Amino acid sequence: MSDEALFFTPATELASLLRSGKLSPVELVRAVLDRAKRLQPRLNCFITLTAERALAEARRAEADIVAGRPLGALHGIPFTVKDLVNTEGVPTTFGTVVHRDNVPSEDAVSVARLRAAGAILIGKTTTPEFGSGPMTNSPLFGSTRNPWDASRTSGGSSGGAAAATAAGIAPLAVATDGGGSTRIPAACNGVVGLKQSNGVIPHSQAQDLFGNQTYVTPTTRTVADTALMLQVMAGPSAVDPWSIGLRAHDYAEAARPQGDLRGKRVLHCVAPPGRPVSKDVERSFESALQTLAGLGATLEPFAGGGFDVEPIWRAINHTVWRARFAPLVEKHPETFSETFKRQIASAASVSGVEYQEAMFARSALFKRVQGLFERADVLATPTLSRSALPIDQDLFGAIDIDGQRFDNVRAYWYPWTMLFNMTGHPAINLPSGFGSDGMPLGLQLVGRFQEDAQLLQIASHFEAASNFAMHRPSGL
């Protein structure tokens, strides 16, 4: 197998090649490490590569195969981890200068499960400070560039994870999502990004266990790889109350596109009122809906009124950030970006009553989304209102959509992602086409609460019919 083919081979196929002895774990890990080193100056998607440790683990993995020992589901497969997620013995800086020397003493639960299944960590991927923005840049590591066009952002806050995956560096990536931070970069980079239902993957680093709206997530190039990753990462853990008591699912089996979508009902909306999308996104979304209809699904529009959620999300999220990070900013103001400091400062005006009112509104949003699912199996929206923004986009600057300028990046670029962090419903970005600028576009499908397996099944049908997963960035 050529290196080019190897880099874009799904993990589901790599697993078979490794088990059969047709591919060496050492050969695979060495190849992806070499690719990571070669592309790092162009993409800037890693904070560190764990080459020595990864090759040692690859040699042990190869010895296990030769000896006929029991093998895990991900035996010998390389993966990356976002710099927000703890990795034992490997720096986790949270994209900040103040934590640049932080080395966790244990893995996050999600990482530990991947490693226990035989996956091999090759490096940590970039994030903005504490995952605080939809573009991946930080004072510690600079900006992460999009493999489709280096003048564009890779999105955020899991921009390093998505860029590395899209570039063929490793097939599996651990990301996070607090308002779209997996799905936004997945759409920007043309990969699959799932935000699963609340509790499906235990979150061992959440500080507010009960009000938490952030998720540790998989990012891959195919739905089947996402399902394989989810299969390993999911399951109850004592550290996350939302995970306790959840029933098990065979996600890998669910992601096989058997049959069609006859009998499935899709409710769709291109944007909430007052939130425009580009002509490219509108065309891509309509084409995606026709693909679903061609598979037998029944389509019905829903009104987007009442889903202007950015003010609610911001009142909750920025207050949490202020509680967590204001002491650090006060102690080390020179180490943080002005953008981060401005976000932390903005929460000072949110009172305790206003915070609780936002939590009440969050509960009402859950009920409203639940009401939509009384007549739907899945919801469909564009993931973003336009393709990847310029690399130097300011979070507090204007966003351009087909020549019109709008003054709120969060509200106008990704009006549909924050909603499902707050309600807990599973939501997945799927590559759905390309804009006239040659950049990837994404479709967001949203499933019933705790019915992630059905969402993956529907997503796999769309992926197989659309075949966008076969596209790769050129010139890498």
Are 77 and 62 contacting, i.e. CB atoms less than 8 angstroms apart? no
Q: Of the listed 24, 82, 124, 387, which one is catalytic? A: 82
Q: Of the listed 138, 143, 154, 157, which one is catalytic? A: 157
Q: What is the rounded CA–CA span in Å between residue 336 and residue 248?
A: 42
Q: What is the rounded CA–CA span in Å between residue 43 and residue 163?
A: 7
Q: Virtual CA dihedral for 303, 280, 171, 257, nearest 10 degrees? A: 60
> Residue 84: which of 99, 70, 105, 71 has the closest Cα?
99
> In Å, what is the CA distance from 443 to each residue of 101, 233, 430?
38, 24, 5
**3-state secondary structure (DSSP) of residue 320:** helix
Are 166 and 200 contacting, i.e. CB atoms less than 8 angstroms apart? no
Q: Which residues contact 120 (CB under 8 A, 6 or more apart)?
A: 25, 29, 54, 57, 58, 61, 76, 77, 78, 79
Q: Long-range contact list for 299-304, CB < 8 A, 24+ apart?
A: 299/266, 299/268, 300/265, 300/266, 300/267, 300/268, 300/375, 300/376, 301/267, 301/268, 301/269, 302/267, 302/268, 302/269, 302/372, 302/376, 302/379, 303/269, 304/269, 304/270, 304/271, 304/272, 304/273, 304/275
Q: What sign does the CA torsion over 444, 133, 450, 416 have?
A: negative
In degrees rounded to 5, what are phi and psi of residue 444?
-105, 125
Q: Which residue has the tokens 């560190």?
A: 48
Q: What is the rounded CA–CA span in Å between residue 91 and residue 377?
A: 42
Are 90 and 124 contacting, i.e. CB atoms less than 8 angstroms apart? yes
Q: Of the listed 24, 154, 181, 385, which one is catalytic? A: 181
Active site residue 181: yes
Active site residue 82: yes
Q: What is the rounded CA–CA span in Å between residue 464 and residue 224?
A: 11
In degrees rounded to 5, what are phi and psi of residue 453?
-65, -45
Burial tier of 88 (Cβ tally within 10 Å: 0-12, 13-18, 19+): middle
Q: Which residue has the tokens 């769309």?
A: 462
Beta strand pairing call for 172-177 and 215-220: antiparallel
Known catalytic residues are 82, 157, 181
